[in-house]
Structures are given as structure tokens and as C-alpha cells.
């Protein structure tokens, strides 16, 4: 189908199960020349109809991350440093930048890219700091989806205009994020 990467999310599994699951998919994907991103740690919040309560969230552990990278052969590691799926609480995000710094040292040593899921709603200054600390990919699905839903609330004449407006709203968010992440014009 033309994909050049896959995202493996075994974060709901035990470490051992996540390693086996991810290693299997990584082997299949690498055999087809695809890059593999995998998640270690567990983000709180809601994604795709599944809610993980705050008490169930788990920060990414450095020693486990090293084992996970070594045993799975992944190309990119999505980490949990206090980031959440969906909306942040009214108090705002509380990211463990000290942990991110340690994870960056590990991923640099291993030749693995660093990813941050649950980046919707992060202030621009915090995004820039995460970039400075090595994050190379951000997932901002909530902001893209919200722009789509907000555009549907605007009155339009017919379905074609509604859909075109929704697509343009999403494109505007994606373009703004690409500028923020420093990836605009680099494709």
C-alpha cells in the first residue's frame, strides 16, 4: 500500500508482552523496508474511544527503554513524560523534561528517534524545548480532529462546502504545526 513506517502500540501490555509483540511487528516491517515506531510507557487520557485514567499512566522507565530498544530493534521510541492523549487539565501540561533529557541521551546512543504522543495543546515554548531536548516527531491528533469538528459547526450551503471547509481547517492546523516543529518545506 506504499507505507514506509508503522506505529506499534503495545503500551497496554506488560513489558515482556510489549517486547514480544513489538519485536514481531518490527521484524515483519523491517523485512519490507519499513521504519518502526513503538510506545513505551502509558499515557493517560482518551484516544480512539479508550480512556486511560491518570492512576493507570506510567512514565517511560530508562532501564526498560534500553531493554525495549535492544530487544525490539525499533527505529523510533514514543515516550511518556507526563504527556496525555486528548486535553490537558486546566492546570496545563506537566512534562518531566528531566526524564526527556535522560531518554534523549539513551536514544542518541542507540540511534533511535524520540517521539512525543499527546502533544496537542502543548504551548509553543514547551514544544520548542522538547525539540531542543531531541523530540523529532509529535502527534497532535486532538487538535486536527477538533479543527475538523469546529468547522462542521459553521453553516454552509451544502455537503460539498462543509467537507471542503473541514479539510481546509485541518490543513491549516497541520501547516501551523509543521512550521512550529520546524519541518515546513523539508519534504
The domain segmentation of the chain, as residue ranges, is: 5-139, 141-186
Q: Which CATH superfamily is domain 5-139 in?
A: Aldolase class I (3.20.20.70)
List all residues 6 or more positions away from 116 whose beta carbon is below 8 Å from its beta carbon: 78, 79, 81, 83, 130, 135, 137, 138, 139
Alpha helices in 88-123 (DSSP H): 97-110
pTM: 0.84
Q: How confident is the model at residue 52 (pLDDT cuts 50, 70, 90)?
A: very low
pLDDT digits (tens, 9 = 90+) for 12-24: 899 999 999 999 9
Amino acid at each position: 500500500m506504499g507505507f514506509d513506517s508503522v506505529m506499534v502500540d503495545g503500551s497496554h501490555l506488560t513489558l515482556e508482552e510489549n517486547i514480544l509483540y513489538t519485536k514481531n511487528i518490527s521484524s515483519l516491517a523491517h523485512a519490507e523496508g519499513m521504519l518502526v515506531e513503538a510506545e513505551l510507557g502509558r499515557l493517560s487520557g482518551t484516544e480512539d474511544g479508550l480512556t486511560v485514567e491518570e492512576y493507570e499512566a506510567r512514565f517511560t522507565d530508562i532501564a526498560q527503554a534500553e531493554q525495549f530498544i535492544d530487544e525490539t530493534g525499533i527505529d523510533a521510541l514514543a515516550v511518556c513524560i507526563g504527556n496525555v492523549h486528548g486535553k490537558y487539565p486546566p492546570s496545563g501540561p506537566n512534562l518531566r523534561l528531566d526524564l526527556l533529557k535522560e531518554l534523549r541521551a539513551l536514544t542518541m546512543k542507540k540511534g533511535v528517534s524520540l517521539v512525543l504522543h499527546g502533544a496537542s495543546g502543548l504551548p509553543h515554548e514547551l514544544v520548542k524545548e522538547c525539540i531542543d531536548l531531541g523530540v523529532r516527531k509529535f502527534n497532535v491528533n486532538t487538535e486536527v480532529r477538533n479543527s475538523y469538528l469546529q468547522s462542521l459547526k459553521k453553516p454552509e450551503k451544502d455537503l460539498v462546502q462543509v467537507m471542503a471547509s473541514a479539510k481546509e481547517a485541518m490543513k491549516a492546523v497541520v501547516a501551523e504545526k509543521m512550521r512550529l516543529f520546524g519541518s515546513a518545506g523539508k519534504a
